[in-house]
Structure 1
Amino acid sequence: MREKLLTNKLNIEKNFKGIRFLIGSGFAFSLMTVCVKAIGGRIPISELVFARATISIIITRFYLYKNNINPWGYQKRLLIIRGLLGTVALFCIFKALTILPIATATVIQYIYPTFTVICAYIILKEFILSRIVYSIIIGWIGIVLVSQPEFTGNSNIQETILAIIIAIFGALMTSLAYICVRKLSSKEHPLVIIYYFPLVSIPLSIPFIINDFVLPSGTDWFWIIGIGIFTQIGQLCITEGLRLLPAGQATSLNYSQVIFASIWGVLIFQEKITSSIYLGGFCVLISTIISMSASKRTQSKI
């Protein structure tokens, strides 16, 4: 009896620790979006990706050295693919944030769990339940609702449509990157997986920087450094949180980023959060919960 109580206590402490890490991750990532939004397109996206990657690779390399971990991993080809997919997703997310309100861009990004389930079915041949169809429908209804204020309140409809498409494509790339992480996590250390992200981002962004370089000035340096630091904090927190909590619960808690991003949008950028955005965000959240619960049920059958 005493051992059971002790085990329950340890599990509760583990859950609370995981919750703190995931909420911290959402907070850090939301501050990253603030930094991207604050730059307002003055600095090319390629420079932001390069700066973020440079800061990340320095910090990650330090932790790899400190913990005496081989930085090159064992599945190099898949690690490079994960880095490539993550880099493309980052370009899309940053671009969408420069055009769309923070809340809108963040909610659309969180359609990725549904994409993950579909891609896992196609690529990994994982069984898919019929409820996923409902999840997809609800998720896309959410995207339409979230996007609606941008169509009605924005005179440049073409730019808005392009930004929404870019955000959706970024969510797709994120889901493919997470599938790679799923396959890699059985053999690779989390720090190695994180390390390959900037390792691929830096050489990919350099050609774009050469053709379109803009020297940052004034507070731009502050925002650029913030992008790198807050992204790294967010990655470290989410990696630890996913280790401590079940995937379904962890994904639901990731929505704290949407809440934080919405608050910053209102307080810092005077963005309006309409009832349509609230309802759309709720639909995307329900879609994600259905996707993750279906995925978890499928894994238990296999």
Structure 2
Amino acid sequence: MSILSVPVAVRYMLLSALGFALMAACVKAVSGYGIPVLEIVAARAIVSLVLSYLDVKRKRISVWGTHRWLLTARGVVGALALVCVYYSVTTLTLADATVLQYTYPAFTAVLALIFLKEQIKRSTILCITLSFIGVLVMVRPWSGELEAAMPALSLMAALAGAFGSAAAYVLVRKLSQLEDSSVIIFYFPLVALPVSLLLLGNDFVMPGWEALLLLVLVGVFTQVGQVGLTKAMAAEAAGKVSAYAYVQVIFSAVLGMIFFSEIPTLWTLLGGCLIIAGALINALWKR
């Protein structure tokens, strides 16, 4: 089967998954040069700010939107979530960090119930249950060696990042009824840049040329992932292509093995299968 026979939406979704996996690999690599997580977030925000600003101006609409408090809240939540996600990427294996990030559909369902009054279906309950069991399998609290299985702070950061991503997603769903998508995207780096710089304080580290290239690539691969995701959703119904997003876990595991000599444990594979299965059931279940 040639690549041309693969549906366009699927190709874009695979490109998105690869882009986000490469972004995570660059984040992990640049942290090895002593660059703080907050500085990585700021670098990504700078690249995204320029690219998203150009996109808004291309549409000839106001960059400020009309619901600024809600847009700002989305930016703050997204920025804090990104800090947590990047910290987990730099302190866990790429496979572990990526798998734990995919617990966000369970968090999204709960937050949507509370704030958007969306009904929780049986498939969503199953998603939440499998995600919870999957996390337990990965960290193995019954083994008595929790810290050896996975550092507690890294685990909490990964789950906090997934929760923050879910909160940002709920805000985006609300804002999508009120604002242009390009304005929503623009506000994320607009808020993330000052927030990350404020939290960074005096911990800035001047990057060398190699680290600087990796920081730029973090922003570039992020944009590749976002563009691929947007075009995939525009080309096909979300439910039909969302399953391919989880290929990112495979990409991340392969990149981890190639560049960081990370071999996923059996517990990561088992827990990851449960979490991904729950997310897929939630996305694809037909009533």
| Fold match by TM threshold 0.5 | yes
Alignment of 1:246-261 (within 5 A): 246-261=237-252
SS of alignment partner, residue 138 of structure 1: helix
Q: Give the match for residue 133 of structure 1.
A: 125
Q: Could you tell me how far apart the structure 1 residues matched to 2:57 and 2:123 are?
A: 45
Corresponding position: 1:245 with 2:229: no
Counting matched residue pairs gives: 281
Kindly provide the amino acid, as one letter, of the partner of residue 71 in structure 2.
L
Point out the more displaced range, 63-72 or 175-184. 63-72
Alignment of 1:13-92 (within 5 A): 16-40=7-31, 42-92=34-84
Q: TM-score, normalised by structure 2?
A: 0.90
Q: Could you tell me how far apart the structure 2 residues matched to 1:136 and 1:147 are?
A: 17
Q: Could you tell me how far apart the structure 1 residues matched to 2:124 and 2:57 are?
A: 42
Alignment of 1:101-180 (within 5 A): 101-148=93-140, 157=148, 160-180=151-171
Q: Give the match for residue 91 of structure 2.
A: 99
Root-mean-square deviation (CA, aligned residues, Å) is: 2.4
Q: Give the match for residue 300 of structure 1.
A: none
Task: Give how far 1:131 is off.
Answer: 4.1
Kindly provide the amino acid, as one letter, of the partner of residue 225 in structure 2.
G
**Structure 2 gaps, min length 5:** none
Kindly provide the amino acid, as one letter, of the partner of residue 227 in structure 1.
V
Deviations along 1:189-232, one digit per CA (max 9) or x if unpaired, are 22111100000001111223332111112411111111111112
| Residues 101 and 148 of structure 1, relative CA distance in 2, 3 Å threshold | farther
Task: Give how far 1:235 is off.
Answer: 1.5
Kindly provide the amino acid, as one letter, of the partner of residue 268 in structure 1.
F
Q: Give the match for residue 6 of structure 1.
A: none
Kindly provide the amino acid, as one letter, of the partner of residue 15 in structure 2.
G
Corresponding position: 1:272 with 2:272: no
Q: Could you tell me how far apart the structure 2 residues matched to 1:152 and 1:31 are?
A: 34
Residue number among 175, 187, 195 corresponding to 2:186 in the alignment: 195
Deviations along 1:217-264, one digit per CA (max 9) or x if unpaired, are 241111111111111221122122223333333432211211111110
Paired-residue identity, %: 36
**Structure 1 gaps, min length 5:** 1-12, 298-302
Task: Give how far 1:22 is off.
Answer: 1.4
Contact 2:28 2:90 in 1 (8 A): yes
Contact 1:104 1:147 in 2 (8 A): no
Task: Give how far 1:29 is off.
Answer: 0.6
Task: Give how far 1:129 is off.
Answer: 2.3
| Residues 163 and 60 of structure 1, relative CA distance in 2, 3 Å threshold | same
Q: Could you tell me how far apart the structure 2 residues matched to 1:159 and 1:108 are?
A: 12
